[in-house]
Structure 1
Amino acid sequence: MTTATDETNPDGRGFLPGLALDFVIFGFHDQELKILILEYKNTDLFALPGGFVREKEDLESAARRVLAQRTGLTDIYLEQFHTFGSLQRYDPAPLAQIMQAKGHAAQPDHWLLRRFITVGYYALVDFTRAVPQPDAMADRCAWYELNQLPSLMLDHENIVAKALETLRETLDRKLIGFNLLEEAFTMHTLQRLYETVLGEPLNRSSFQRRMLSLGILQRLEKTYTGKAHKAPYLYRFIQPD
């Protein structure tokens, strides 16, 4: 849950107290929606990537800084979707276990073991361009399919559910700004993306008619050559002026 070695200082110098960031980072690959997860060895704990806000840093700047550190990308879609502040989410035990496994003293008054309110962001990235990197406390940062996520610490499963709910509500309206697909894609790939986000199958003909009626797709002259007959057209999004 940290983004730099100085975050393990007992007093948290340089960071805003009590405020954290958590990220649901979506990627789309092999017709499946995936989420980036941090793994902590010797603890059996898993968590969403997260970080903290520096004292002289805008909230949005902090979010983009942490996101770039975890993915190696800067030009991606990022949106704040919810603030999580329930008293029930506070539990210092998992983070104390992680700190001890990494050789850090987990004193009860350590700033990382205090209560935090977290601002949730979701990001949509090009899976092929992302280079996942763990933070200072994690041992691995890896993609997991949405329907095969490990059990996540604290309330991170609730954060994933809320991010997915938000994504479903805005899928049509904000799809152009997403970075989940390659520049050129087939209608089948686009439909599969919708199905994985929505969690249900869609009628092929109805889906194609609806997508074409939105006026956001441009059909390309070049067609996909993976099949000998009736090769499907490739499409790309029409970028807004």
Structure 2
Amino acid sequence: MEYKKELQRMIAEFRTLYLSSVSIDCVIFGFHDGQLKVLLLRWKGTNDWCLPGGRIRHEENMDDAAHRSLRERTGLSEIFLQQFHTFGDVERYKNWSKQETLTKLGLPEEASREIVNRDVSVGYYALVEFADATPTPDFFTDECRWWDIDQIPLLLFDHNEMISLALKTLRRQLSYQPIGYKLLPDKFTMPDLQQLYETILGQSLDRRNFQKRMLGYGVLERLDERKTGGAHKAPYLYRFDKEKYEKALADESLFVG
């Protein structure tokens, strides 16, 4: 009974508070200790998985809606989040049975055209330290958890394609923008930063070329201290210059080339 009441409330809010036919889907990449994962949701009473997402309120900017959706699923805020593509193919709702969805979620037939009909979806991707996140399912899902990037199952709709394109975009971003702030400890070594890049790219990088490129960006500050507990020639510690880092994110031309 409580579920039905909450469902009726949500349907009423959907009709009055949110834009119709436009949705947001978030590819949330999680990095930790050399692992790259993606956050997925499992729909109630099913083994069907999909990306987290949401709707845009009438008086809400689209980027703000994406940040809100990310906070609701991870508990994190003030992280890098970027729009990467708009998905609007007629056949994008594959691997999905509309009638089966209505039955399992308990949606009334009259609400189906509004809530589970075809949308144009704006894709965003984020990169977070997944050890800091608190995966939280929404009203329509039973589970929210991380999946290894190489073990993602067949997802609903066109969400597998979304992940592939988001990862391709993220990897391309590494060539012109810095990545690492809030993904590494406040103080880190150059090998730590290189491991992050190698994990995202899925390949090894030359140590000398990598260090030369990272220092050339001008966003790293080398500290007068070395990593403790290692070999005699332990690597120096670095940290991001937050002001220069944010300037670099705002000015892509600094990193083109």
Q: Give me the TM-score of the superposition, normalised by structure 1.
A: 0.87
**Contact 1:176 1:216 (C-alpha < 8 Å) held by counterparts:** no
SS in 2 for 1:163: helix
- Counterparts of 1:176 and 1:43, CA distance in 2: 36
1:122 aligned to 121, 125, 132, which one? 125
Q: Which residue of 2 aligns with 1:49?
A: 52
Q: Please state if 1:211 is matched with 2:214.
A: yes
Q: Please state if 1:133 is matched with 2:136.
A: yes
- Counterparts of 1:58 and 1:210, CA distance in 2: 36
Pairing 1:25-174 to 2, within 5 Å after superposition: 25-40=28-43, 42-91=45-94, 93-94=96-97, 96-102=99-105, 104-105=106-107, 107=109, 110=112, 111-174=114-177
SS in 2 for 1:133: coil
What 5-or-longer segments of structure 2 have no aligned partner? 1-5, 248-257
Which has more helix, going by share of residues?
2
Percent identity over paired residues? 44
SS in 1 for 2:141: coil
- Structure with more relative contact order (C-alpha pairs < 8 Å, separation 6 or more): 1
**Contact 1:33 1:193 (C-alpha < 8 Å) held by counterparts:** no
Equivalent residue letter for 2:107: A
Q: Which residue of 1 aligns with 2:251?
A: none
What 5-or-longer segments of structure 1 have no aligned partner? none
- Counterparts of 1:166 and 1:214, CA distance in 2: 20
SS in 1 for 2:36: strand
- Counterparts of 2:130 and 2:229, CA distance in 1: 21
- Counterparts of 1:100 and 1:31, CA distance in 2: 41
Deviation at 1:92, TM superposition (A): 8.7
What root-mean-square deviation, in Å, do the aligned CA atoms of Structure 1 and Structure 2 show? 2.5
Aligned length: 237
- Counterparts of 1:97 and 1:179, CA distance in 2: 41
**Contact 1:24 1:160 (C-alpha < 8 Å) held by counterparts:** yes
Q: Give me the TM-score of the superposition, normalised by structure 2.
A: 0.82
Greater Cα offset, 192-201 or 77-86: 192-201
